[in-house]
Amino acid sequence: MPSTIKDVSIAAGVSIATVSHVINQTRYVTDDVKAKVYAAMEKLDYNPNSIARSLRSQQTKTIGVMVPSIRSLFYSRVTDGIEETMRENGYHIILANSHDDRDREMDALRTFKSLRIDGLMMCPSVGEHTYLKNMLPASTPVVFIDRYPLDYEGDHVVIDLSGSTYDVINLLIKKGHQKIGMITGYKGLSSTKARFEGYQAAYQDNGLPYDEELIQSGAYTSDAGYENTKKIIENTDATALFYADDPMVIGSLLYLHEKKIRIPDQISIVSCNDYEWTRISNPPLTIVKKPSYQLGIKAAELMLDKIEKRVEKDKIHKFCLSTTIVMRSSVKDLI
Amino acid sequence: MPSTIKDVSIAAGVSIATVSHVINQTRYVTDDVKAKVYAAMEKLDYNPNSIARSLRSQQTKTIGVMVPSIRSLFYSRVTDGIEETMRENGYHIILANSHDDRDREMDALRTFKSLRIDGLMMCPSVGEHTYLKNMLPASTPVVFIDRYPLDYEGDHVVIDLSGSTYDVINLLIKKGHQKIGMITGYKGLSSTKARFEGYQAAYQDNGLPYDEELIQSGAYTSDAGYENTKKIIENTDATALFYADDPMVIGSLLYLHEKKIRIPDQISIVSCNDYEWTRISNPPLTIVKKPSYQLGIKAAELMLDKIEKRVEKDKIHKFCLSTTIVMRSSVKDLI
DNA sequence: AATTTTAAATTAAACGTTTACGTAAACGAT
DNA sequence: ATCGTTTACGTAAACGTTTAATTTAAAATT
């Protein structure tokens, strides 16, 4: 059995309160008493019981982190950034995967509630999220990451997908592409919506019409990438493709390779994220680099600010991180 | 403020004990009392405080999971398997990254200890791990994942790296390769050791000598992959390369592309894991598929068995999951 | 010398559960 | 009628902390 604060107090010949104050530096204690306490702690290999501490102090130093899937390259980096920042600040994280499923999501939320998390960082799935209002105590800060609910105003830090999509589409148009396919994620997500907006704005600003069939939404899987590429290729005369996430690219490339469609000769490709493999794929991919790790850090910092009340309570805090385009050989200049 | 069991007991007009027993189904309660309790719980939106529960029951339903880095494709899948299995069984996981650094590792362990985790699942870094004996209560089960400490007998579930390396090297030898480079991870890891053994056994069984310089150890990064490939190419006349992990492959391919060394014409390549991108890389890679997700599940199951004492206490439980080779176009037949 | 102020440590009451123990009522058997 | 037994529930003591309220001792003031 691990030793308790009581054991330490007896060994040091002082009261429990004094030991607690020494540990937490929460009131003045003379140096020799301090020394005795430290010696006793050392001797007994004392390690504070954070469960008891949490029960009493009503804070758990725990942050609930919910992402669609931890095995995603993007979200694992976001999580890495969160974990790192939280750890440095004395918090730890409880991980849950929603798998973009509302039931799973609510399930995890119930667990989080039961665990009395000090803060929730979540990437919401499709659908209503007003239930969050009643789910957690009003005092529990919430930060949405990468996506935010469309029916619920809340603090969030996301990637500037509207802007980056605009930039990519605009770039492709300037290079002479007129029919640009986009394979994006689920409809009903803030991220997908932003991509639509960027896409449309770019077409509009260039005075070009676009075909509805050029945009395909669906799961973040290589299968969906394969199928959606097939649809676009079969139904349109797209000369370029832009993707929301990397599994889609992989499926898409599998289709294109299968059909012996040459990149970038017959079709140009732009992907998302800067995962290393895009440098050695066939061909190396032009990408828009999303600051995933930085998103995690920024969101964690916002969360810490909210917990420590360093931030206005009645304001909605929104952060939108910008991307950079990395040119490689998967895009052809048509002019 | 969330409502407590006391609120429920008052609302239902019964004692706290009865409410607790209803919740936990730990003793017979008449149906109408049960109904009153459920009604009160519903009305008050009662959600048990797991902190209080943990303090009293001395179990936290929490598993500490430590991996080198959650952003690794391999470990994120392992973690996914663990999370899934644990969640299904009412446990949740606390995540920590060791970054293959002993200080970070011990730091995380201290946090875990403080959190009174019910079990530890860790992938140990290089170096002594006897300190684990004193770190956690003797009753806390430990399962090592993917690697195990070389100085400490403990339950573990790992991948059969010795066997898979043997198979790959043997296969390459049968295809006429005599000088096979291997780029592996840190020396002093059980995994690296296993790979050495498999490599040597394959050479020995085929009656071939091998060059020390063919095997390069180092970090699991693309930089290390680049550098180690350079070393092997410059110092040996290797006709094939085998890698421990995918970041290394990427660095290696960058080097080979840079030097315009054609794959598989001039050099054959075999990588690890079945990450989707290996299907669309240039060229598509022959790989040995490691069951990462399954490793997570198996390890979690072992942990649950240990927690529930469904497993012999004084026996060391070792599981070694086997791999499969997926042939693609990065290997050339020299015969 | 008596009183007030200050400093340093102690006491004890929470925090929200679980659970060993206790009890009251109902029932059968003698 | 009395006495165990059983059934169904209640009481209260933990679990290991934090912290408000209090005490004690020493120092400063009158």
CB neighbours (10 Å) of residue B223?
Answer: 14
pLDDT along chain B (335 residues), means of 10: 93 95 94 94 95 95 96 95 96 95 94 96 94 89 96 94 97 96 96 97 95 94 96 96 92 95 95 88 93 98 94 93 95 90
CA distance to A4, A44, B129, B130, per residue, from B134 (Å): 16, 12, 10, 8
- Residues of chain A with C-beta less than 8 angstroms from the C-beta of B54: 51
Whether the CB of B57 is below 8 Å from some CB of chain A: the reply is no
Distance B28 CA to C30 C1' (A): 30
Taking C1' of C14 and every protein CA, the nearest residue is: A56
CB contact under 8 A, B95 and A97: no
SS3 A329: coil
**Chain B residue closest in CA terms to A62:** B94
> Which positions 29-58 on chain B have a beta carbon less than 7 angstroms from any atom of strand D?
29-30, 32-33, 52, 55-56, 58
- Is a pLDDT exceeding 90 seen at residue A322? yes
Taking C1' of C19 and every protein CA, the nearest residue is: B17
Round to whole Å and give the CA distance between B179 and B133. Answer: 43
Q: What is the pTM of this model?
A: 0.94
- Is a pLDDT exceeding 90 seen at residue A254? yes
- Grade residue A271 by pLDDT with cuts at 50, 70 and 90: very high
- Grade residue A54 by pLDDT with cuts at 50, 70 and 90: very high
| Shortest alpha-carbon distance between residue B224 and chain A (Å) | 14
Which amino acid is present at A325?
I
- Is a pLDDT exceeding 90 seen at residue A152? no
Work out if B14's Cβ lies within 7 angstroms of strand D: yes
Whether the CB of B4 is below 8 Å from some CB of chain A: the reply is no
Round to whole Å and give the CA distance between B321 and B301. Answer: 14
Give A120's strand partners: A64, A142
Work out if A6's Cβ lies within 7 angstroms of strand D: yes
Distance B274 CA to D23 C1' (A): 70
Which amino acid is present at A111?
T
pLDDT at B206: 97
Look at strands A318-321 and A156-159 and give their pairing: parallel
pLDDT at A134: 84
CA atoms within 13 A on the CB side of A227: 10
Round to whole Å and give the CA distance between A126 and A104. Answer: 12
Look at strands B268-272 and B119-122 and give their pairing: unpaired
Distance B110 CA to D23 C1' (A): 37
Q: Which of B70, B282, B283 sits opposite A76 (nearest CB)?
A: B70
pLDDT, tens only, A26-44 = 999 999 899 999 999 999 9
Give B181's strand partners: B241
Reference B75, options A21, A80, A230; nearest CA is: A80
> Which positions 12-31 on chain A have a beta carbon less than 7 angstroms from any atom of strand D?
16-17, 20-21, 23-24, 26
Cis status, amide bond into B283, omega within 30 of 0: yes
Cis status, amide bond into A264, omega within 30 of 0: yes
Reference B95, options A134, A95, A209; nearest CA is: A95
Tokens 């006349």 correspond to B237
Reference B215, options B234, B194, B243; nearest CA is: B243
Q: Which of B70, B114, B277 sits opposite A79 (nearest CB)?
A: B70
